[in-house]
Chains A and B, each alone.
Chain A
Amino acid sequence: GNSVTQMEGPVTLSEEAFLTINCTYTATGYPSLFWYVQYPGEGLQLLLKATKADDKGSNKGFEATYRKETTSFHLEKGSVQVSDSAVYFCALKTGGFKTIFGAGTRLFVKA
């Protein structure tokens, strides 16, 4: 079946450090891939997405590239800020409408 695996957290970084959160997936067909962010006590917000191989999604300095050959969609940001502290979820969606989420990775950014 379809699944998403992302790196375990928490990830703790200093402000302005480089961020990578790994995400790999297993899916039949050609899924769309997403990163969502969840701030404390809130619901999920779509951060970025990519709908086909080699697409790069980007938003607010974050980016991720849909790599079909490695079935990966790693999230990166060149310089994190304290305000980026949150939980990040990698997810995929196929034509069946259901969104499959990874376990989430908690990010702490220290000033």
Chain B
Amino acid sequence: GAVVSQHPSRVICKSGTSVKIECRSLDFQATTMFWYRQFPKQSLMLMATSNEGSKATYEQGVEKDKFLINHASLTLSTLTVTSAHPEDSSFYICSAQNADRGNEQYFGPGTRLTVT
């Protein structure tokens, strides 16, 4: 079946540094990927929709200059958390949409970011 990977699975960084998270669709091309943030014991909050070859669409309240999204190829989207602060610590999950399977969404395993 379709698989979406994320790298790294866990990352610890110091306050003020930037962290890049990769999301890859392994066996299909994804023109659209989504980035979510999940706080402990809460639901997923959509941060942005990433479209290959164009700018990402951010949800209201999400700072686009802080959460940089690049979807440079049909199998890779990256989320860069710039100048990270402890409040950015969270579980970040991406998903990729498979247009060949009725736009079904496949989720990555998530990346746990801890900012110290």
- Interface assignment of B44: CB less than 8 Å from any CB of chain A: yes
CB under 8 Å from chain A, chain B span 42-56? 42-44, 46, 49
A43:B110 contact, CB within 8 angstroms: yes
- Interface assignment of A57: CB less than 8 Å from any CB of chain B: no
B43:A45 contact, CB within 8 angstroms: no
Query: Which of A45, A98, A102 contacts B49 (CB under 8 A)?
Result: A98
B109:A103 contact, CB within 8 angstroms: no
Q: Which residues of A contact B46 (CB under 8 A)?
A: 98-99
Query: Which of B6, B42, B110, B112 contacts A103 (CB under 8 A)?
Result: B42
B41:A43 contact, CB within 8 angstroms: no
Interchain CA distance A36-B108 in the complex, whole Å? 13
Question: How many residues belonging to A are interface residues under a CB distance threshold of 8 Å?
Answer: 17
Query: Which of B42, B97, B112 contacts A97 (CB under 8 A)?
Result: B97
Minimum CB–CB distance from B42 to chain A (whole Å) comes to 7
- CB-CB contacts of B81-116 with A at 8 A, as 1s and 0s? 000000000000101010000011111111010000
Query: Which of B41, B106, B109 contacts A106 (CB under 8 A)?
Result: B41
- CB-CB contacts of A7-45 with B at 8 A, as 1s and 0s? 000000000000000000000000000001000011111
Q: How large is the interface on B (under 10, 10 to 19, 20 to 34, 35 or more residues)?
A: 20 to 34
CB under 8 Å from chain B, chain A span 37-62? 41-46
Q: Which residues of B contact A104 (CB under 8 A)?
A: 41-43
B108:A43 contact, CB within 8 angstroms: yes
Q: Which residues of B contact A93 (CB under 8 A)?
A: 105
Residue of A with least CB distance to B108: A43
B43:A42 contact, CB within 8 angstroms: no
Query: Which of A45, A102, A103, A106 contacts B107 (CB under 8 A)?
Result: A45
Interchain CA distance A45-B104 in the complex, whole Å? 12
- Interface assignment of A66: CB less than 8 Å from any CB of chain B: no
- Interface assignment of B32: CB less than 8 Å from any CB of chain A: yes
Minimum CB–CB distance from B105 to chain A (whole Å) comes to 6
A-B contact pairs, 9 of them (CB 8 A): A41-B110, A43-B108, A43-B110, A46-B104, A46-B105, A89-B43, A98-B49, A99-B46, A102-B43
